[in-house]
């Protein structure tokens, strides 16, 4: 029932026109996949905000996703919009099931639970949760990124080659790939961090070269990149000082809670979170270190509630181990971290509407962010005390 409810928008959404540009169903599929790829295949540069907004029925510009995204997801932009939307939604559903299977595999490393049952339970919870439904409702590419991020952590020791390929998928969005590569490097998986980054760069290079040639050289191409970043910082959904943005990173939460944000705070937060987390993940017990790693990725730089999808396997492992170790030092904080992290998953649309109508939109959009930042702080506390035997 949850699956049917989650995938039905893909064939119910109206076809994109300027009249329905505010439509939220399949919005990310439309704005970050279908029309950017159409622009690229048509000979243009989709990273240029003026081109995308002026030529296509989109609400948002195309952010700086890795250029290989334009080739990787091209099959979903080749057919008509309706066929592409349905195919992409079903593909994303399969990726969520694969993420649930990865979580089941991770849990089985520590607890003898049935793989198939755990997969079904986690998958059902995912497509019922707000975070899981949002991936399919909005048409996000996060399921693939989450599979890459979680896979890189789980395979980094036994299968470093596969882990590097998984990290390359996480690099699809640089705000995932960069901090994850840094933390993997800090945890001793230097080959995985460097090779995964190199794979992502090599996959993107042909597209970059083509865009540079089309645009008339490096200079004009860099001008487009600067224009893209400038446009993103000025939007009501991306700016750090926006009360309506769905950002859950430390810098944005600081502003929404206090109404104050000092100049350069985003770079300070990025450095502080990565340094703090890097020092702790090197010595913490593996499940706690994995949870802290993925939470650090989410809170150090621009992220939204749906981005906590990457933490699902680590959450499942820590939750499974908490009962066994609940009386030991540090595990109380670990259990509370999972509980706080569950807030975005349980933050259903009806709850959001109720909170917003009673307390105002500023509170409604802040709840998830505060919960995730608190979860990171609790994971830090747990990592300080839970060490390998």
Please list the pLDDT of the chain residue by residue as tens digits (389 residues): 888 888 888 888 888 888 887 888 889 999 999 999 999 999 889 998 888 888 889 888 888 899 999 999 999 999 999 999 999 999 999 999 999 999 999 999 998 999 999 999 999 999 998 888 889 998 999 999 999 999 999 999 989 999 999 999 999 999 999 999 999 999 999 999 999 999 999 999 999 999 999 888 898 889 888 888 887 776 666 677 776 678 889 998 888 888 888 888 889 999 999 999 999 999 989 999 999 999 999 999 988 888 999 999 999 999 999 888 888 888 899 999 999 999 888 876 556 666 666 655 566 668 888 999 999 999 999 999 888 76
176 burial via Cβ count (<10 Å: 0-12, 13-18, 19+): buried
Place of tokens 């993925």: 294
What is the pLDDT, as a whole number, of residue 377? 95
Query: Can you give the chain as a three-state secondary structure string?
Result: CHHHHHHCHHHHCCCCCHHHCCCCCCHHHHHHHHHHHHHHHCCCCCCCHHHHHHHCCCCCCCCCCCCCHHHHCHHHCCCCHHHHHHHHHHHHHHHHHHHHHHHHHHHHCCCCCCHHHHHHHHHHHHHHCHHHHHHHHHCCCHHHHHHHHHHHHHHCCCCHHHHHHHHHHHCCCHHHHHHHHHHHHHCCCHHHHHHHHHHHHHHHHHHHHHHHHHHCCHHHHHHHHHHHHHHHHCCCCCCCCCCCCCCCCHHHHHHHHHCCCCCCHHHHHHHHHHHHHHHHHCCCCHHHHHHHHHHHHHHHCCCCHHHHHHHHHHHHHHHHHHHHHCCCCCHHHHHHHHHHHHHHHHCCHHHHHHHHHHHCHHHHHHHHHHHHHHHHHHHHHHHHHCCCC
Closest CA to 205 of 168, 233, 236: 168
Burial category of 26 from C-beta neighbours within 10 Å (exposed 0-12, middle 13-18, buried 19 and up): buried
Per-residue pLDDT at 380: 95
As a whole number of Å, the CA-based R_g of the chain is: 20
């Amino acid at each position: 029932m949850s699956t049917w409810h989650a995938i039905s928008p893909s064939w119910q959404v109206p076809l994109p026109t300027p009249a329905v540009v505010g439509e939220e169903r399949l919005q990310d599929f439309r704005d970050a996949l279908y029309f950017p790829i159409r622009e690229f295949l048509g000979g243009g540069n989709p990273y240029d905000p003026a081109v995308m907004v002026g030529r296509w029925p989109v609400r948002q510009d195309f952010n700086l996703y890795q250029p290989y995204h334009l080739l990787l997801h091209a099959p979903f932009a080749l057919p008509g919009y309706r066929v592409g939307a349905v195919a992409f939604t079903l593909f994303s559903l399969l990726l969520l099931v694969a993420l649930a299977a990865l979580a089941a595999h991770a849990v089985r490393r520590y607890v003898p639970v049935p793989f198939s049952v755990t997969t079904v339970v986690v998958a059902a919870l995912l497509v019922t949760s707000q975070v899981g439904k949002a991936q399919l409702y909005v048409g996000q590419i996060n399921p693939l990124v989450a599979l890459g991020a979680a896979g890189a952590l789980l395979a980094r020791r036994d299968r470093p080659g596969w882990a590097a390929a998984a990290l390359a998928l996480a690099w699809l969005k640089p705000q995932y790939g960069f901090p994850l590569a840094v933390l993997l490097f800090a945890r001793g998986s230097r080959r995985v961090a460097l090779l995964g980054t190199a794979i992502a760069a090599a996959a993107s290079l042909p597209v970059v070269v083509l865009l540079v040639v089309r645009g008339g050289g490096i200079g004009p191409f860099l001008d487009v990149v600067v224009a893209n970043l400038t446009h993103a910082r000025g939007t009501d959904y991306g700016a750090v000082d926006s009360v309506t943005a769905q950002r859950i990173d430390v810098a944005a939460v600081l502003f929404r809670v206090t109404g104050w944000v000092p100049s350069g705070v985003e770079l300070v937060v990025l450095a502080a979170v990565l340094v703090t987390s890097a020092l702790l993940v090197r010595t913490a017990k593996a499940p706690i270190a994995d949870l802290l790693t993925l939470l650090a990725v989410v809170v150090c730089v621009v992220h939204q509630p749906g981005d906590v999808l990457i933490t699902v396997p680590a959450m499942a492992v820590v939750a499974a181990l908490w009962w066994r170790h609940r009386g030991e030092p540090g595990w109380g904080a670990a259990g509370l971290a999972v509980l706080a992290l569950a807030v975005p998953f349980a933050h259903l649309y009806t709850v959001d509407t109720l909170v917003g109508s009673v307390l105002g939109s500023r509170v409604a959009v802040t709840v998830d962010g505060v919960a995730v930042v608190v979860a990171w702080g609790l994971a830090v506390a747990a990592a300080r005390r839970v060490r390998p035997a």
